[in-house]
Structure 1
Amino acid sequence: MQLLCGEKGKGREIKGIRIIEVEDMDRFLSGGEILITNLHVYSKCTDSQFENYLKALIFKKEISGFIIKKKQDLNKDHFEILRSYCEKYGLPLIEMPVDMYYWGVIRDVMERIYDKETARLKYFKITHDNFNSLVLDDHTIDSKSKGIIDFLETMIENPIAIYHGNGNPYISTKLDKSKLILMDDLEEYKPNIITKFKYMRQRIQDIYQYIIKVNILKEIDSYIVITEENRLLSELDYMAIENAIITLQYSFITKFAQNEVRKKYKRDVVHNIIHGLLNYEETIEAARVLGLGEKDQYRVVDFHTIPKNKEGKYTKEQLREVEMIEGELITLLPEEHIYRNMNQIVMIQKVDSRQKDLDYDAQMTEIQQVVQKNIMERKKNIDFQIGIGSIVTGCHNLKTSYEQAKKAVACTEVVRWISRDETVSVVRYSKMGFFQLFLENDNMNTLLQYVPETLKKLKAYEDKHHGDLLLTLAIYLENNMNRKKTAEDLNIHYRSVSYRIDKIKEITGINFDNGVEMLAIRNGLLIYQLNQKLK
C-alpha cells in the first residue's frame, strides 16, 4: 500500500469502509467512510459528471479518504481529477497493489475501527449485498454458482469446491476433479459465530479442510468444502461463508426446480419410446427431443439397483440410494441419455463403431465395479447389476433392445450359476447365444414341459423331502461326473456323494452313460434354475 497524496489528512477519523459500486455512491453512505475504487464504475461519465459525483462524496458525506487500484483500463483523466481534489482538501489517496483483493483491506479496517460485534454485523451486511448482486445477474445457474465461489475465494483467500452428495466434484475454484473423501478424523466444528449450518473439519496433510453439508428442499445433498491452504479463516470470513452458502442455496433451488421439470419431461419421453407407446411420427418427434438419429445405432442398458421390500414398496432411503447411483452413472457416462424412474435406471447409449467389443465389455465392467465400490463404502447392501440389450438402428427398435436388457439383468443369477462365477454382474443379451431361446419364451410353463420325466420325478421327491439331490446332480454333471471333485465343491464326504448319486439313480432311473439323456437332463436343470431366478 502506498500513500500517493493527502498526507495532511492522515489523522482523519475513519467511520467505515465501502466499495464504490454505483456512480451516485453518496446516497448509500452514512458519512466519514474511506472508499475503495478502481474508478471503473465511472467509465461512462464525462469529466464534469465525475467531478460532480466526487464533490458529493467529499462535501456532503465528508469521506475520510480513497483507496485506489490502478488497473490498466484506469481512466487517467478521472484519476488526475481525483488526485487534485485529494491534494486540495487533504484527503489521503492510497494506492493498493493490483493483485491485492479489496476484502483483505475491508476486513482489516473493520476490525480496527469497530468492536467485534459491530464488525461482524457490518461485514455481514456488505458481503450479503455483494452476493445478492450475483444472484440477480443473467448468467446460467452453473456459471452463477461458479461466480459465487470465485467471489468467496477473493474474500477468504482460500480454495473452495462444491461436491455432489455422492462425493463427485461439481465446481471448484481450482482445477481439481478429485472426489471428496471424508476421512476417519472428520469432526464437528463450531465457528465462533451464530451459524445456520453444520460445519465439519478434517485434516489433510496438516491443512484443515472445512466441510459444510447443504440440503436443498430435503431432496439433494451437496458439500461445500473450504481448504485452509493460504491463511487461517477469521470470524469475518465465516460471515462471508454464511452469506455465500445462503446465496448458493437460492441458486441450487432454482437449478433443482429447472432440472426436475426437464428430467420429468425427458423421463416421460424415454419411457414412451422404450415401451413402444408412440406411433411412428410421435417416435420421430420424441427422438428429436432426445437428440437421437434415425440412422444411428443404439443399445439400451438396464441398471438393476434395489428390489422392492416385503410390502412391495420402496423406502425413502432406498430411493435416495438409487438417486446417488444415478448421479454416479451420469458422472461416469456424461454423454449418454441416463434416466431414473423409481428404482429403475435406464440408459439409451449411442454405439461407438470404433470401439471393439472387448473394450466395451471392459468399460462396462469397470463402471459396475466403481459403482459397486461406492455402494459398499456407503454400507448399502445392494447387488448392482447391468443388463445390456442388442444393438439396434434408429429409435423405432429401442423397445426390442430394452426388453432384452431387462431379460439380461433378470438372468444375471442364472449366468452366475452356469459359469460358477459369483462376480459376474454385467450380462450382454447378444452374447447369451443358445440361452436366448429360454429368455424369449415368456411362459415358463411351456418351458417346463421340456424337462425330462426322470428329472421331474427327482424334483417331486426333492419338494417332499427337502434334500439336496438336485444340487448334487447339477454339481456332479458340471464336474463331468467326477465324484471326488463334486465332494470337494459340496464340502461333503466322497461316500456321501456316492450315496446321493445312487439315490438319484434309484428315484429316476437316469442312465448316466446315455449322452442324449445327459444333455436333456442338463437343459432340464437349466430350466428349473431359470424358473427359480425369473419368478
Structure 2
Amino acid sequence: MIDKDQVSKMEKQSSKRRSEGVGMTLTHILKLGCFKESQLIAGESAVNSIVVKGITIMEAPDIADWIKGGELILTSLYPVYKDEEKIRLLVQRLAENKAAGLLVKVGRFIEEMPEILIKAGNEYELPIIQIAGEVKYVDIMYPVMNELFNRQLMLLEHYRVCHDRFVQLMLRNGSLQDIAEELKELIQRPVLIFDVDLEVLACTDDEFTPIHKILENRICLKEYGECVLYRQQIWLGEEGKNLVEMILAPAIAFHQERAYVGVVTGGGVTEMEAIAIETAVTNISLELIKKAAVAEVELKYQNELIDEIIHQRYQSIEEVRHRTRDLGWNLDKPHKVMVIQLQDYQTLLTDERGLNMLKDYMDRMLRIIKRLAMHYTSELIISSKSFRIVVLYPVKNKASDVQSFAEELHQCFTRELIGVNICVGIGMESLDIESMFKSYEQAMDSVHFGQIIQQKKKVVTYEELGIYKLLCHMEDADQLRQFIHPGLERLYQYDQSRNNELMETLEVYLNYQGNAKKTAEKMFIHYKTVMYRIKRIKEVMGVDFENRQVKLEIEVGLKILHILWNKKGTTEQGIKRIEEVLTDKKWKRDLSKVDNEIS
C-alpha cells in the first residue's frame, strides 16, 4: 500500500521541481483513492519530478512508440511477461519517451513483480507501481482522467481571469509599473521588469534594485505557450553583493528580446503562476511595441528639428524657438555639439543582413548613451540618422564634463560593442540656436580629421586640431600644396617608384620624436633597417631633422597628404588626388637627377 506520509514527504522534497512541469504531479495522482491498495516498487527517485498528462492501456510491446510523454501506462505485462529481455527493453523505451510511469496489474499473468522489472525501473528511473489483481482498469483510468480534466478546467478558468485583468489594465492605459503590481498580486511574489541593458523599468520591491549583473547560467524551465521561462541567478545592488535566484521570462518585440520579467523565487513556479507570467509578458510586449511606435514618431520629429538647426535650414528663428520650447528644450544657453560616428559603415550597406547589423549597432549605441547620460545630465538632446548620432550637450559649470562624458561613453562602446569602430568629435561651445551649426561643423571636422591629426585617438575635440583647423577648411589643393615641403615631394616620388616604404618610416619616426628603436618596434623591422632608411630619407629630401622649423614643415606636409586623402569619398579617389598634387608639372622632377644629387 502507498503510504500517504511517504507521498507527502516526496511532495515536499519535490516542491522545487514539480513546478517545472505542465500537468499534474505524480505525487498528487498517487494520493487518489484508486491507488489506496497500490504499491510503488521501483523508480522512487524519479517520482519527485514526474508530471502526468494522461493515462492509457498497453496492448502491444511497441506502446513506447505511440506515446507523447507524460502518460501513465496500465498493463498486465501479457505481451512481454515470458521474456525478461523484452521487459527490460519495454522499461527502457518507456523511460526514453518520457512516460510518467508503469502501472502493473498482478494476479492474472504474473503472480509477483519480476526482478528484472524492478531492476530496470530503478536503472532507468521509471516509476513502477503495482496494482492489485482485483482492481479494474476503469477504476484507475476514470479517477485519473477526471482529476486531469478538472485540473485543465481550473487552469483555463485561471487563464481567463488573468487575461481579463490584464486586458482591463491595458484599457485603462496601464503602465509597466501597473503590470508589475498586477502580476505580484496574482502570484504573491516580488516582480521586476527590466530591459536588455539591465535598466529597471518597473519594480514592486525596491530591495531588489538595481540589477548589477546577470550570471550566464540561464536554465530553461519550460515553454508555456510562446512564453519561455528560465531560472537565472542575478547580482543585485550597486556593488553587486546580493545574489538572488529569479525566474525570467523574455518579452519579445520586433522579433527580439526587448525586456524581461523577473520573479524573485527560491525555486520554480507553479502552472498557475506560469499562466499569470505568460499573460503579463504578452501585455508587456504590446506595451513595448506601443512605446516604440510613439518614440519613433517623436524621434523622427526631433531628428528633423535638430537637422534643421545644425544645418541652418530653418526660415524663422522664432519658429524654431517655439518648436524647441514645445519639446522642453532650451537651446539659447551654452551647448556643445558631439558627433558620434560609426566608422567603416560602408561595409554594412551591401546586403539586408548588413543593414540589420547597422540598425542594431545604432540602437545599442543610443541605449548606451541614454544610460550613461543619467549619471551626467538630464538635459541631453539626441538625434540619430543612418550611421551618425548627434548629441547636444548642455555646458554648465564645467566644460570638461563634456569630454569626460565622451571618454566614458567611448569606453562603454569599446566594452559592449566589441570590434565596432566608433569615433567621437566635439565642437566648441555655442551660446544660442544660431551658432549651433558652427559647433556641429567643428564636431564633424573633429571626427573626420581628428583621426589624421591625433592618429589612434577616438575622442577628439575641435580645440585639439590646433593649427590643422586651418588646413582642414582649405578646399583648394593649390593652397594646401603651398605647405608641403619640397623635400617631401621628392621623397614621395622616389618612394613610389621603388616601394621602399620611406614615407611610412618617416611618419612613424617623427611620431616617436626621432626614436629609431621605437620606430623599429612599431614597424616590426630591425633597428639597423630604420637607421639605413632614415639616412636614405635625409639624402633624398636634402634636409636636417635637427632644424625644428624644417621638421615642423615636414610634419605639416605629412598631415596635408592625409587630409587630401580623406577629403575625397573613397581611397581610390584619395590616391588619385594625391597623385594629382604631387605630380603637378610645377613640382615634378626627374628621378635620375635626384639619384645623381644623392650620389
> Over aligned residues, Cα RMSD in angstroms?
2.8
Q: What is the aligned partner in structure 2 of residue 8 from structure 1?
A: none
1:361 aligns with 2:403: yes
Q: CA separation of 1:454/1:167 partners in 2, compared to 1, >3 Å: closer, same or farther? A: same
Which stretch of structure 1 is more off in the superposition, 327-336 or 265-274?
Answer: 327-336
Q: Aligned to 2:222, which of 190, 193, 210? A: 190
Q: What is the aligned partner in structure 1 of residue 84 from structure 2?
A: none
CA contact (8 A) 1:156 1:237 kept: yes
The superposition leaves residues 35-76 of structure 1 with CA deviations (integer Å, 9 ceiling, x where unpaired) of xxxxxxxxxxxxxxxxxxxxxxxxxxxxxxxxxxxxxxxxxx
Q: What is the aligned partner in structure 2 of residue 239 from structure 1?
A: 275
Q: What is the aligned partner in structure 2 of residue 528 from structure 1?
A: 561
Question: What is the distance in 2 between the residues matched to 1:129 and 1:189?
Answer: 26
- Pairwise CA distance, 1:294: 5.8
Q: CA separation of 1:479/1:148 partners in 2, compared to 1, >3 Å: closer, same or farther? A: closer
Which stretch of structure 1 is more off in the superposition, 196-205 or 462-471?
Answer: 196-205
The superposition leaves residues 382-405 of structure 1 with CA deviations (integer Å, 9 ceiling, x where unpaired) of 123221111011111111111111
Question: What is the distance in 2 between the residues matched to 1:125 and 1:131?
Answer: 10
Q: What is the aligned partner in structure 2 of residue 105 from structure 1?
A: none
Question: What is the distance in 1 between the residues matched to 2:204 and 2:362?
Answer: 29
Q: CA separation of 1:437/1:483 partners in 2, compared to 1, >3 Å: closer, same or farther? A: same
Q: Aligned to 1:158, which of 174, 180, 189? A: 189
1:131-280 alignment, distance < 5 Å = 131-139=166-174, 144-175=175-206, 176-179=208-211, 181-191=213-223, 194-204=224-234, 207-218=244-255, 221-229=257-265, 232-279=268-315, 280=317
Question: What is the distance in 1 between the residues matched to 2:433 and 2:264?
Answer: 51
Any gaps of 5 or more consecutive residues in structure 2?
1-146, 236-242, 569-599
CA contact (8 A) 2:192 2:202 kept: yes
Q: Aligned to 2:451, which of 413, 423, 447? A: 413
Q: Secondary structure at the match of 1:302?
A: strand
- Pairwise CA distance, 1:447: 1.9
CA contact (8 A) 1:163 1:180 kept: no
Q: CA separation of 1:355/1:174 partners in 2, compared to 1, >3 Å: closer, same or farther? A: farther
- Pairwise CA distance, 1:433: 2.4
1:277-288 alignment, distance < 5 Å = 277-279=313-315, 280-288=317-325
1:305-316 alignment, distance < 5 Å = 305-310=342-347, 312=349, 315-316=355-356
Question: What is the distance in 2 between the residues matched to 1:150 and 1:508?
Answer: 77
Question: What is the distance in 2 between the residues matched to 1:531 and 1:174?
Answer: 60
- Pairwise CA distance, 1:188: 3.0
Q: What is the aligned partner in structure 2 of residue 325 from structure 1?
A: 365
Q: Secondary structure at the match of 1:322?
A: helix
Q: Secondary structure at the match of 1:238?
A: helix
CA contact (8 A) 2:339 2:444 kept: yes
Q: Secondary structure at the match of 2:345?
A: coil
Q: CA separation of 1:230/1:158 partners in 2, compared to 1, >3 Å: closer, same or farther? A: farther
Q: What is the aligned partner in structure 1 of residue 75 from structure 2?
A: none
Q: Aligned to 2:440, which of 390, 396, 402? A: 402
Question: What is the distance in 2 between the residues matched to 1:488 and 1:253?
Answer: 54
Question: What is the distance in 2 between the residues matched to 1:485 and 1:231?
Answer: 59
Question: What is the distance in 2 between the residues matched to 1:138 and 1:503?
Answer: 77
- Pairwise CA distance, 1:484: 4.1
- Pairwise CA distance, 1:138: 4.6
CA contact (8 A) 1:452 1:520 kept: yes
- Pairwise CA distance, 1:123: 0.6
Indicate the structure (1 or 2) with the bigger Cα radius of gyration: 2
Q: What is the aligned partner in structure 1 of residue 153 from structure 2?
A: 118
Q: CA separation of 1:167/1:452 partners in 2, compared to 1, >3 Å: closer, same or farther? A: same
- Pairwise CA distance, 1:121: 0.6
- Pairwise CA distance, 1:208: 3.6
Q: CA separation of 1:449/1:168 partners in 2, compared to 1, >3 Å: closer, same or farther? A: farther
Q: Aligned to 1:460, which of 493, 496, 499? A: 493
Q: What letter corresponds to residue 170 of structure 1 in structure 2?
A: L
Q: What is the aligned partner in structure 2 of residue 94 from structure 1?
A: none
CA contact (8 A) 1:455 1:524 kept: yes
Q: CA separation of 1:502/1:294 partners in 2, compared to 1, >3 Å: closer, same or farther? A: closer
The superposition leaves residues 140-191 of structure 1 with CA deviations (integer Å, 9 ceiling, x where unpaired) of xxxx211011110122222222222344332222335535744332233315
Q: CA separation of 1:188/1:522 partners in 2, compared to 1, >3 Å: closer, same or farther? A: same
- Pairwise CA distance, 1:361: 2.7
Q: What is the aligned partner in structure 1 of residue 589 from structure 2?
A: none
- Pairwise CA distance, 1:225: 3.1
1:460-499 alignment, distance < 5 Å = 460-499=493-532
Q: Secondary structure at the match of 1:456?
A: helix
Q: Secondary structure at the match of 1:309?
A: helix
CA contact (8 A) 1:302 1:409 kept: yes
Q: What is the aligned partner in structure 2 of residue 437 from structure 1?
A: 470
Q: Aligned to 1:426, which of 446, 449, 459? A: 459
- Pairwise CA distance, 1:365: 1.3
Q: CA separation of 1:445/1:290 partners in 2, compared to 1, >3 Å: closer, same or farther? A: farther
CA contact (8 A) 1:162 1:222 kept: no
Question: What is the distance in 1 between the residues matched to 2:535 and 2:148?
Answer: 98
Q: What is the aligned partner in structure 2 of residue 518 from structure 1?
A: 551
CA contact (8 A) 2:246 2:266 kept: no
- Pairwise CA distance, 1:310: 4.0
Question: What is the distance in 1 between the residues matched to 2:296 and 2:524?
Answer: 53
TM-score where L is the length of structure 1: 0.69
Q: CA separation of 1:485/1:242 partners in 2, compared to 1, >3 Å: closer, same or farther? A: closer
Q: CA separation of 1:133/1:526 partners in 2, compared to 1, >3 Å: closer, same or farther? A: same
CA contact (8 A) 2:381 2:392 kept: yes
Q: What is the aligned partner in structure 2 of residue 11 from structure 1?
A: none
Question: What is the distance in 2 between the residues matched to 1:114 and 1:180?
Answer: 44
Any gaps of 5 or more consecutive residues in structure 1?
1-111
The superposition leaves residues 103-147 of structure 1 with CA deviations (integer Å, 9 ceiling, x where unpaired) of xxxxxxxxx9983211211110111111111111155xxxx2110
Q: What letter corresponds to residue 326 of structure 1 in structure 2?
A: L
Question: What is the distance in 1 between the residues matched to 2:173 and 2:349?
Answer: 46
- Pairwise CA distance, 1:425: 2.2
CA contact (8 A) 2:250 2:281 kept: no
Q: What is the aligned partner in structure 1 of residue 43 from structure 2?
A: none
Q: Secondary structure at the match of 2:180?
A: helix
Q: How many percent of aligned residue pairs carry the same amino acid?
A: 23
CA contact (8 A) 2:423 2:459 kept: yes
Q: Secondary structure at the match of 1:185?
A: coil
Question: What is the distance in 2 between the residues matched to 1:510 and 1:333?
Answer: 51
Question: What is the distance in 2 between the residues matched to 1:489 and 1:311?
Answer: 31
Q: Secondary structure at the match of 1:171?
A: strand
Q: What letter corresponds to residue 366 of structure 1 in structure 2?
A: E
Q: What is the aligned partner in structure 2 of residue 109 from structure 1?
A: none
Q: What letter corresponds to residue 398 of structure 2 in structure 1?
A: Q
The superposition leaves residues 472-505 of structure 1 with CA deviations (integer Å, 9 ceiling, x where unpaired) of 2123334443444543443432321221122213
Q: Aligned to 2:535, which of 502, 506, 512? A: 502
Q: What letter corresponds to residue 312 of structure 2 in structure 1?
A: G
CA contact (8 A) 1:293 1:395 kept: no
Q: What letter corresponds to residue 261 of structure 2 in structure 1?
A: V
CA contact (8 A) 1:287 1:395 kept: no
Q: What letter corresponds to residue 404 of structure 1 in structure 2?
A: Q
Question: What is the distance in 2 between the residues matched to 1:231 and 1:211?
Answer: 12
Q: What letter corresponds to residue 299 of structure 1 in structure 2?
A: K
